[in-house]
């Protein structure tokens, strides 16, 4: 059920402006790349995650139970039934989406209706993954949960790491977090085991599958390709806290603090892409190479990339 709110007015009233001006970085002139991002006015809510299954099925989640759904025509709020801050979201298909958050909140959207799964922890959950059959959620204080039949089970974990993202690879499902920890989760066996990235003991915050492995990103421009249990560091990024990573047509896109966005063709040689403001950007979903969704703090929702998708092209309403 969709809820009527100020967000609804911003997105669906024909006379409302669906691209807004936000704080300028100074380099956002009318002809600059920064000016070509499409900016969606969504108030001042902190948005924490974005995911989708296609260009016409994208979900954004944030604080105070906020859920927005893009159906290819309009970006509209949906009733979550909670006031908990939502931290992670994964979209398996048009008919199945999960979001997780504080107070151990797990919400499931099936066939257009949101419902709460029975909580098994009160810990903060930061990320969730599903293949449509099994699911996994991770969070703070070493919390990892798995589900393979509709109910959630705690995974015994001797460590107290904070986990922030999940990615599946050919060699399994991995979660990343504090102190450069990478942990393998076996959903069937309900087990977890950890390793650390050699020479990197800083926080890892974002992950996505790529080819047979995955990309991990984190503090101080940390960017790694993980495959077959080994990490290869990719250099060249500035010492920015990188929060999110996505892949489109083989190219990696990363987002981070102070409006930072960079493209790494083939995962190498980054090019920094200017953005129109300095809000923290924390999550990115690539529907395609020409349709990226980026979300962050204080209402940040950007759609691009610049030079491909202009402000007037297929805007959110």
Is residue 313 domain-resident?
no
In this prediction, the residues of the chain whose per-residue pLDDT falls under 50 are 1-31, 311-312, 315, 317
pLDDT of residue 42: 85
pLDDT (0 to 100) of residue 32 = 74
pLDDT of 309: 67
Which residues span the domain enclosing 49? 6-304
Among 248, 257, 298, 299, smallest CA distance to 275 is for 257
Q: Check residue 12 and give its pLDDT.
A: 33
Q: Which residue has the tokens 């006379």?
A: 15
- What pLDDT does residue 316 have? 52
Residue given tokens 């083989």 in the structure block: 250
Whether residue 140 lies inside any domain: the answer is yes
Separation of alpha carbons 106 and 182, rounded Å: 23
291 domain-assigned: yes
pLDDT digits over 263-306, tens only?
999 999 999 999 988 999 999 999 999 999 999 999 999 999 98
**Helix H or strand E encompassing 263:** strand 260-264
Give this prediction's pTM: 0.89
**Phi-psi bin for 130: left (phi > 0), alpha (psi -120 to 50), beta?**
beta
Q: What is the pLDDT of residue 150?
A: 77
Query: Which CATH number covers residue 217?
Result: 2.130.10.10
Query: What is the number of structural domains in the chain?
Result: 1
């Amino acid at each position: 059920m969709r809820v009527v709110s100020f967000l609804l007015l911003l997105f669906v009233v024909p006379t409302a402006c669906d691209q807004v001006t936000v704080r300028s970085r100074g380099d956002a002139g009318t002809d600059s790349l920064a000016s070509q991002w499409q900016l969606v006015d969504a108030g001042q809510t902190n948005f924490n995650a974005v995911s989708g299954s296609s260009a016409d099925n994208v979900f954004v989640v944030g604080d105070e139970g906020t859920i927005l759904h893009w159906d290819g025509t309009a970006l509209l709020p949906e009733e979550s039934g909670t006031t908990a801050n939502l931290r992670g979201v994964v979209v398996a298909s048009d008919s199945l989406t999960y979001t997780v958050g504080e107070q151990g909140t797990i919400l499931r959207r099936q066939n257009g209706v949101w419902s709460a799964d029975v909580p098994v922890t009160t810990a903060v959950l930061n990320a969730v993954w599903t293949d449509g059959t099994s699911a996994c959620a991770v969070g703070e204080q070493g919390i990892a949960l798995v589900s393979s039949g509709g109910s959630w089970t705690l995974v015994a974990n001797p460590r107290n790491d904070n986990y922030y993202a999940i990615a599946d690879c050919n060699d399994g499902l991995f979660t990343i977090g504090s102190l450069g920890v990478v942990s393998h989760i076996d959903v069937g066996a309900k087990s977890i085991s950890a390793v650390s990235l050699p020479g990197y003991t800083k926080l890892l915050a974002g992950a996505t599958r790529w080819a047979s492995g995955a990309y991990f990103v984190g503090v101080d421009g940390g960017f790694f390709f993980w495959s077959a249990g080994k990490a290869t560091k990719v250099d060249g990024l500035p010492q920015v806290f990188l929060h999110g990573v996505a892949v489109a047509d083989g190219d990696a896109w990363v987002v981070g603090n102070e409006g930072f966005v960079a493209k790494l063709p083939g995962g190498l040689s980054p090019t920094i892409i200017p953005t129109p403001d300095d809000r923290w950007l924390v999550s990115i979903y690539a529907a395609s190479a020409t349709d990226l969704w980026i979300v962050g703090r204080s209402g940040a929702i950007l759609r691009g990339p610049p030079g491909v998708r202009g402000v007037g092209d297929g805007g959110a309403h």
